[in-house]
Structure 1
Amino acid sequence: MFTNYQYTVDTRFIRYAQIDTQSDPQSTSFPTTEKQKDLSRLLVKELHEMGITDAEMDEHGYVYATIPANTDKQVPVICFCSHVDTSSDSSGTGVKPIVHRNYDGGDIVLPDDQTVVISSREHPYLASKKGDDIITASGTTLLGADDKAGVAEIMDAASYLMTHPEVKHGAIRILFTPDEEVGRGVEKVDMKKLAAQFGYTMDGGELGSLEDENFSADGAKITVYGVSAHPGAAKGKLISAIKIAGEIVDALPKDGLSPETTEDRDGFIHPVRISGTVEKTEIDFIIRDFDTSSLEAHESFLRRVMDKVLDHHPGARATLKVTEQYRNMKEVLDQYPQVTANAAEAIRRAGVQPLKMSIRGGTDGSRLSFMGLPCPNIFTGEMALHSKHEYVSIQDMQKAVQTIVYLAQVWEEKA
């Protein structure tokens, strides 16, 4: 079906990667940065050029579009979703994508900072891509394959479906979101406007990966209240909230229950930010586990740690506030097994073995699943995310394009 097809996913990706769309975790606006809309506006323009007449960007930066059905069958409306923003963990300004043709399997030295080396030893998946065409950044920025690879794949697949009416499919909705990297990606999605029954985020990693499970997540904030006094006359009076906060963090386990000591299905408690003064200091935590019921156990443990430290500081006090963030999408997807099964079939039709995986993190698909749109996550090829070592294989992206097209076809066939 794709024998003579001229893919556009690579040229689209390179074009999109050069647009700075970094989101800002400290911003309270939505989207958190207006520059994300620069890419969204371009996507609307390109969708119109394909003949997708209803493509639009709303005031929040969401892009909605429809590939119309071309079958008489009653097919469930499916949605493909990716996010336009990139992480704040590394600069996204002035991205210069470089294509390494027929990759030789060795280390890749990036030209604009030759101390940045993508080592095939440290990145075994990269070593397995010998012979592929690999795209990297130039050494001073991230690449943005997370998730502009997904965006480009959806756009190329949309172009294919619009120009190949012989591929029968139901109505397909396209959704591009801002602010996924700051955990707010679907905060203002208009589900009534989206009007889809099932969805797929294109935001996974290695070829063939299909993720129908992710962490359940809470945020926690410990606020420590000390007693301020002039340091020159502080003996017996001053109680430092800063030092107490440091003791709480230091009292956490050193050999477990942290991101740096866990893997697979292990959960953790992770302090991510400390700020404050002698009088008042706040510690922000993220709490993660695949088993939602285990979150409460982790939070109870954190409270015990806090209370035990406070026992040594009479006159100080502290509070712990827990906020729900997102939940394991498997709780929803298990009720709709056909959603994941159809994706696995599409991956196989693309000539790839499906790899069922779990996400040690979150995804727009998790929140969408609990908003009424069961939504697993499909591979894009994006690897070494949020860093200057980020890379993506063009051949992986092409297989993702095929998967989207085959998935639309599978849903029509099974209707």
Structure 2
Amino acid sequence: MDQQVTQTQTEKEELSPNLVMTPGKMRVIKRNGKVVSFEEEKIKVAIMKAFLAVEGGTAAGSSRIHEAVEQMTKDIVDVFERRMPSGGTIHIEEIQDQVELQLMRNEHHKVARTYVLYREARKNERVDEEKPVEVEGNVEEVINAAVEKACAGLENVDATSLAQEIKGSTYEGISPKDLAESMLMTARTLVEKEPNYSYVTARLLLNNLENEVSSFLGFERRADRAAMYKEALVKTIDKGIEVGFLSEELKTFDLERLGSAIKEERDFQFTYLGLQTLYDRYFITFEETRYEMPQVFLMRVAMGLAIQEKDKNDRAEEFYNLLSSFDYMSSTPTLFNSGTNRPQLSSCYLTTVPDDLSGIYGAIRDNALIV
């Protein structure tokens, strides 16, 4: 019975702050502080699910229950419209309180009790999720292992010294998130002294990203990164389509073949600044969680570029090899939108037009050839 009255919605429903006070419009403040549109239908669905939880599947076909749900939803909406005739914002808890109140007023006591218990259970789940998590195992061993792996094969970097500096900024009971941030911040300060620390920092960031993606998509990290990437490609595309962000056309590609074509070792070509830029701006997210790893990102862009090609699997592989080798890099609109449901790939460019008739028409011809 989660919907508008219990759970978050997808990113595309989120509104910018300047829309919060639009006259005549009601908005809902979610528990994470974000603001979304007020949707009557979400309330109706939540109430119906409460009835289904008590009366079973037969309730879905009951005209009596449908009429009751419609009336209670209308009464809830009327309450907020009377309270805020010019529009405004409502907290999610206020809507849930009204659902409980309407169920009780209409003497649906068993349904109301079930709904109250459901809310309490969800509250307890959120409390459990918010409990601080400590690093598993010995913190020093975790730091040593991560730093040694990040420094492997790089010249002029000192894993022992870096690990010692990181340990100096940790504390008892440190969370995995804070430890990961501490390692990044410490390694980043050494880049000016030795450029290869940029690769060390990038590898530490890559480790954090892989933890984030694998946890969200539900696959295990493993030493065989090639096999991990094959699984990640499929799961990323499935999730992107599920949340309405990626195009279903991506499922028409041979994902087994393209997953095998991914060159996971090219992750280690990234410097810190390059990977951090992708992390901050380009990797696709759902509710602020990234679920796209670097080579999946580049393959997704390549697939989007190849959608209209006759031999699209061949072309996708070809485009991917160009992108992942850094021999060529697409412009920002392409990196943002390729393979999505809004695949805007165009980019602006500057051109110089001479100030005479011949030059003007020559520039028109040149631009036409570019297009």
Q: Is TM more than 0.5 here? A: no
Q: What TM-score, normalized by structure 1, do the two folds share? A: 0.21
Q: Which has the higher helix share?
A: 2
Q: Which has the higher strand share?
A: 1
Relative contact order, CA 8 A, sep 6+: which one is greater? 1
Structure with greater Cα Rg: 2
